[in-house]
């Protein structure tokens, strides 16, 4: 498979709002990326992959990373805390992706304990070192290297981190507008705005965006170049095309793509549960969520929604 044609950096120079599907463990895999691309998503991320495992194990590479010709532009997100391992991982994916992203935002305990994810926002020199190494090792100058971060309580520290990353050659920065401790508290869009004002590279806003209208509003408030969405797209993969809730066509598109690409049943069913959350009654949910085979799901959908 040859190098991907579309250049994500060019997306940010289009003057349009860049609509991005977030890295989501278990969920942002090839079939789902293919689905959201059908509904106006401009740029997709893989789930977070631990770089050390990816480099050391062929089995990890095969299970964690699948792509195809239409899956672009594509960013592979890595959890890493070692510049050498990260640059090795970047070299492996370079022919099949448009760039890599360093996860500096995952607040899960295991990630922080292993020195990955959000603890990196307190290690700007390590982040700089990782960015430099990837830049030195990957020959393609158009290959992007980005970071996804959370914010500090003291925003000056976040601005400092972003400036250092920019000086080292980061292509863009995605900011989840919450601190490491915050989960469901309101997103600090004002903080994202301040970061954006201090940068000359593109900035993507992330956190609690559930519709295209909200995405446009967040861009307006923050002045950012794009928005990244996770749960909003799980609930409605057609969100970026302006649908307020998942249209039936999108549900059937998911069925077709998942079957075509061999999506495991658990994942296939889980996505449908998210998509149908808003359009089904409690009773219907009870029945649908208890189904245990692809054929049962297909029968249910045909009976209730027709082809």
Rounded Cα gap, residues 204 and 228, in angstroms: 6
Contact 58, 106 (CB under 8 A): no
In the structure encoding, which two tokens stand for residue 2, read together?
Answer: 């040859």
Query: What SS3 state is found at 247?
Result: coil
Query: What SS3 state is found at 50?
Result: strand
Per-residue tens of pLDDT for the chain, all 307 residues:
444 557 899 999 888 999 999 999 999 999 999 999 999 999 999 999 999 999 999 999 999 999 999 999 999 999 999 999 999 999 999 999 999 999 999 999 999 999 999 999 999 999 999 999 999 999 999 999 999 999 999 999 999 999 999 999 999 999 999 999 998 999 999 999 999 999 999 999 999 999 999 999 999 999 999 999 999 999 999 999 999 999 999 999 999 999 999 999 999 999 999 999 999 999 999 999 999 999 999 999 999 988 6
pLDDT at position 189 = 98
Domains of the chain, earliest start first: 8-238 (3.20.20.70), 248-305 (no CATH)
Model pTM?
Answer: 0.96
pLDDT at position 4 = 54
Q: Phi and psi for 187 in degrees, rounded to 5? A: -75, 140
266 is in an annotated binding site: no
203 is in an annotated binding site: no
185 is in an annotated binding site: no
Rounded Cα gap, residues 35 and 270, in angstroms: 15
Rounded Cα gap, residues 178 and 208, in angstroms: 10
Does 106 participate in catalysis according to the annotation? yes
In the structure encoding, which two tokens stand for residue 16, read together?
Answer: 């349009």
25 is in an annotated binding site: yes
Catalytic one of 44, 104, 106, 250: 106
């Amino acid at each position: 498979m040859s190098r991907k044609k579309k250049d994500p950096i060019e997306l940010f120079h289009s003057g349009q709002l860049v609509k991005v599907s977030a890295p989501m463990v278990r969920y942002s895999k090839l079939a789902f990326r293919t689905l959201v691309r059908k509904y106006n998503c401009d740029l997709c991320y893989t789930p977070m992959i631990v770089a050390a495992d990816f480099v050391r194990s062929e089995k990890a590479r095969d299970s964690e990373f699948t792509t195809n010709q239409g899956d672009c532009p594509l960013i592979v997100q890595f959890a890493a805390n070692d510049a050498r391992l990260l640059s090795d991982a970047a070299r492996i994916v370079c022919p099949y992706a448009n760039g890599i992203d360093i996860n500096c935002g995952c607040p899960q305990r295991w990630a922080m304990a292993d020195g990955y994810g959000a603890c990196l926002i307190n290690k700007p020199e390590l982040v700089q070192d990782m960015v430099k190494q990837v830049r030195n090792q990957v020959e393609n100058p158009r290959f992007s290297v980005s970071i996804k971060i959370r914010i500090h309580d003291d925003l000056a520290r976040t601005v400092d981190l972003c400036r250092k990353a920019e000086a080292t050659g980061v292509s863009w920065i995605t900011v989840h507008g919450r601190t490491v401790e915050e989960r469901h508290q309101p997103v600090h869009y004002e903080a994202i705005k301040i970061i954006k004002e201090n940068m000359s590279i593109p900035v993507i806003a992330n956190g609690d965006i559930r519709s295209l209208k909200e995405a446009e509003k967040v861009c307006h408030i923050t002045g950012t170049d794009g928005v990244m969405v996770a749960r909003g797209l799980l609930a409605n993969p057609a969100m970026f095309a302006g649908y307020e809730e998942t249209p039936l066509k999108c549900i059937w598109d998911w069925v077709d793509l998942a079957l075509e690409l061999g999506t495991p049943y658990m994942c296939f069913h889980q996505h449908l549960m998210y998509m149908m959350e808003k359009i089904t009654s409690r009773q219907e949910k009870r029945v649908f969520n208890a189904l245990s085979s692809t054929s049962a799901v297909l029968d249910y959908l045909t009976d209730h929604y027709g082809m």
